Amino acid sequence: MACACVRQRVFAVCFHVTLCLMLVDWACPIPWSVGLFGVYEAAFALACVSFAVCLIKEKGRFFGQLWRLFKTSRLLCGAVGAYTLFGAVTVLYGADPAFGGLRYRVVAQMLGFGLMALYYLFMRPAAGAARLRHLGWNMGLTAGGIALVALVGYATNLYTVYYQRISTIRDYNQYATILLVGLVCFTFAVVGDLHRPLARWAALLPFWTVTATAVYQAGSRRSDVLLLCLGAVCLLYVLWDEVTRHRRRPNGRRLAAGVCLLAVCVGLCVGAAALTHQWVGQTGPARLAADKAELQRDPALTNDETLRQRLALAGRQDELSAAVEGMLDGSGFARRRLIWQVAWDAICRSTPTEWLFGHGASYSWELYDDLSNPLVAHLRSLYPKALQHDQWLNPHQLFLQDMLEGGLVLLALDLLVLAAVAMALFTLLRRAPRSAVALGLCAVVLLATLMISSAKGMVAHKFFWLLITALVAERFRVREEKESAA
């Protein structure tokens, strides 16, 4: 028994470290040049080894529970399996199978991670709900750390941030997705584990302020809209939980306190974001002007690598600032509509067979390399040349990408997966409303990301597999509790 406990504890530590590094590697702030990919891969391999050691002793119980889990969520597991398999088939008849198959490295990796997550949740069935909250704490605190490090990056790399704010992160849409999902996970973990109102708000207000400021500075207008909606829902849920937990009527004093807390949180978020934005905007140009003046006084400084990088960026300031400001002021959405127009025109030109089965997995990227298409040539002229290379642009929209690659068949399977997720959340809402609301909000964030920034499809998105794993595991836990009570 003691050996089994040690094995499980070692696995739990490896699993949580792997999850943390997965998120950090995905949105690692570039100014530090951390290069965590090798560290994450090593942690993942160590987690696989510890999982295999545990599985040797408990494979019978685990695989038995796994089969019962699949029977509990047959529709969802079947829909995800069919979507993934047909997507893999589209790789075979694509023009570039090697490139089209890159996304399935993520699928194989996340299937392994999903099995580890299920084992972690099943090690102690009675503590399944607590372990799900532990995952929420991990994702929330990791997202908060990423946000804090990124804000420090804004402060220490002003010359970069002013002209290309998204340069301090790997992908501003994916980065904002991590922060928004972390905000939801942290909020519901706090609600589940901290019961004193003062402790709750002492944890939530600083976290919301840091996260909201980082999301705003990332420059994604879609994320700003989601932030407002998610923030309102999370605040209302915390206040509702306070009322229902203590079985008190929402009297005027408590309602006024809730409104004041809402105003304080919104004011802190907006104020911090606005002040940071103004400070960066004022300090960045001054830093660049000082660099130029310093170089004129001492030409020998041309050997200074840091100064050369600053001045090289200054030489491209018009190009970069136009691209970033276009993203922030809304004109960047016009370019996104051009991207979608190219994809839709290609769909309309398809033959009946291509309407049904698509063009193959790599076509959605190759389409934007065809400079003989005037619309593609115009579209590429709107972006900085430093960004442009082969297989760079893509439809940035899940449904258009599925239609191009797998036709109506893949699109129908896509819609089946979304319908299965919605049905699973609805059935979960009756017996575990807190988990259902949290997972539903994470699903909304993921869907919003895929609708406007889908790079390699749903199966290549790590949060998709994390969401499916958490959803089927929570449904299984609720079913087990129901059968035990009966």
Sign of CA dihedral 467, 473, 477, 478: positive
pLDDT given at position 285: 61
Instruction: Annotate 110-123 with DSSP letters as a single string.
Output: HHHHHHHHHHHHHS
- Res. 36 pLDDT band, cuts 50 70 90: low
What percentage of residues in the chain have a pLDDT greater than 70? 69
pLDDT per residue over 230-277, tens digit each? 888 888 888 787 777 655 555 556 656 666 766 676 676 667 666 665
CA 354 to centroid of chain Cα atoms: 31
pLDDT given at position 30: 43
Cβ count within 10 A of residue 107: 18
pLDDT given at position 57: 77
pLDDT given at position 456: 72
Evaluate whether 395 touches 401 at the Cβ level (below 8 Å): yes
Residue 420 has pLDDT above 90, yes or no: yes
Q: How far apart (Å, rounded) are the C-alpha atoms in residues 450 and 396?
A: 8
- Res. 387 pLDDT band, cuts 50 70 90: low
Average pLDDT, the chain: 76
> Hey, which of 24-28, 145-149, 385-389 has the most confident mean pLDDT?
145-149
Evaluate whether 411 touches 396 at the Cβ level (below 8 Å): no
Q: How far apart (Å, rounded) are the C-alpha atoms in residues 460 and 402?
A: 13
pLDDT per residue over 316-368, tens digit each? 444 444 444 444 555 556 777 888 888 888 898 888 898 998 888 878 878 88
- Res. 411 pLDDT band, cuts 50 70 90: very high
pLDDT given at position 37: 54
Q: How far apart (Å, rounded) are the C-alpha atoms in residues 100 and 118?
A: 29
pLDDT per residue over 452-481, tens digit each? 877 677 888 888 888 898 898 888 888 877
Rounded to 5 degrees, φ, ψ at 42 are -65, -40
pLDDT given at position 302: 54
pLDDT given at position 316: 47
pLDDT per residue over 212-234, tens digit each? 878 877 666 777 788 888 888 88
Evaluate whether 311 touches 291 at the Cβ level (below 8 Å): yes
pLDDT given at position 319: 46
pLDDT per residue over 127-146, tens digit each? 657 788 888 899 999 988 88
C-alpha closest to that of 74 among 486, 406, 407, 427? 427
- Res. 80 pLDDT band, cuts 50 70 90: very high
Q: How far apart (Å, rounded) are the C-alpha atoms in residues 399 and 430?
A: 31
Evaluate whether 470 touches 446 at the Cβ level (below 8 Å): no
Where does 389-453 show beta strands of DSSP type E? none
pLDDT given at position 294: 65
pLDDT given at position 31: 41
Flag the least confident range among 172-181, 284-293, 349-358, 361-370: 284-293
* Helical ranges in 298-371 per DSSP H: 305-315, 317-329, 332-348, 352-357, 363-366
- Res. 126 pLDDT band, cuts 50 70 90: low
What percentage of residues in the chain have a pLDDT greater than 90? 8
Mean pLDDT, residues 200-204 taken together: 83
Estimate the share of the chain in helix, then strand, then coil, as percent rounded to the nearest 5. 85, 0, 15
Q: How far apart (Å, rounded) are the C-alpha atoms in residues 203 and 332?
A: 36
Mean pLDDT, residues 140-164 taken together: 69
Question: b or e along 459-477 (b: 16 or more beta carbons within 10 Å of the residue's beta carbon)?
Answer: bbbbbbbbbbbbbbbbbbb
Q: How far apart (Å, rounded) are the C-alpha atoms in residues 109 and 141?
A: 23
